[in-house]
Amino acid sequence: MLYIIGLGLGDEKDITLRGLEAVKSCDALFLEAYTSILPGISRIKLGEFYGKEIIEADRGLVETKAEELILERAKKETVGFLVVGDPFGRATTHSDIVVRARHMNINVEVIHNASIMNAIGVCGLQLYNFGMTVSIVFFTETWRPDSFYEKIEKNRKAGFHTLCLLDIKVKEPTMRAMMKGVEEYHPPRFMSVNTCIEQLLEVEENKKQNVYNGSTLCVGLARVGTSTQKIVSGTMKELLDVDFGEPLHSFIICSDEIHEMEKEYLEFYKVE
């Protein structure tokens, strides 16, 4: 049996009662630890709360050893795969595990929870007014991807808001690790709203198609679903210098066609 269990967005207590019952029935628990995190909550703390040892499933394990370490075990035992947010709220990785498990005739049960894809409505923008979601990844000196630009353009032409999911880098191997085969990683990095805006404006400056600009109304969000969540609405230029604090951050580019109720709600979060 393989349970894929959503943990929600806040802390160890956000798991559903059904999810907790499944956790307690498992012989082994794996925590997917590279597409998202629970802010300030470690694997050890989760294990203490659930009364179970939890194995960290980093990118290497999930992408190259999942069949060997997780799925083969699930043929004989009850295995739980823990996912921050909802199992299908963000990463295709989780769909791939379900497909492989079913090909191996393993019983799979998915237990849902809140994810950033629905909790984003806390800012007052209505979920059915959102278009395609985009991912914004860290630029490097030699790689500055802008494939998101076309999707934002389509959303704005159709009168939709755009949710931007911001990059996280966890257990990314160093160049020395890749060249010499040693276990060495860069420190974790989490994209901020500020970096996201800088990169968006750089792409607009290069494209010059006026899809958005410094005066476009947006919403910056941090730690959604936690007791310290922060939400600020304002133009890109206004939000550029706002301190959103610790990760995780998300960003919304608003449509130019904002409903009156949405406008009224966003006033509660207007930048000072």
Q: Provide the domain count of the chain.
A: 2
- Backbone phi, then psi, for 134, in 5-degree steps? -125, 155
Label the pairing between strands 2-6 and 79-83: parallel
| Domain end marker among 61, 90, 114 | 114
| 86 assigned ligand-binding residue | yes
Helices 148-157 and 193-207 sit at what angle, rounded to 10 degrees?
Answer: 80
* pLDDT above 70 as % of the chain: 93
- CA torsion angle 64 169 237 122 (round to 10): 70
- DSSP labels for 66-123? HIIIIIHHHTTS-EEEEESB-TTSS-HHHHHHHHHHHHTT--EEEE----HHHHGGGG
- Residue 238: give the domain boundaries: 117-269
| 186 assigned ligand-binding residue | no
| 36 assigned ligand-binding residue | no
| 14 assigned ligand-binding residue | no
Task: Kindly state whether residues 244 and 256 are assigned to the same domain.
Answer: yes
Q: pLDDT tens digits, residue range 60-100?
A: 788 788 899 999 999 999 999 999 999 998 767 788 899 99
| 249 assigned ligand-binding residue | yes
CATH number at residue 196: 3.30.950.10
Cα(226)–Cα(190) distance, rounded to whole angstroms?
Answer: 17
DSSP structure class, residue 52 = S
The residue with tokens 């929870």 is 113
Task: Kindly state whether residues 26 and 54 are assigned to the same domain.
Answer: yes
Confidence (pTM)? 0.92
| 166 assigned ligand-binding residue | yes
DSSP structure class, residue 17 = H
For 177, the 3-state DSSP assignment is: helix
Q: pLDDT tens digits, residue range 8-59?
A: 999 999 999 999 999 999 999 999 877 888 877 888 889 999 999 999 888 7
| 103 assigned ligand-binding residue | no
Task: Kindly state whether residues 93 and 172 are assigned to the same domain.
Answer: no
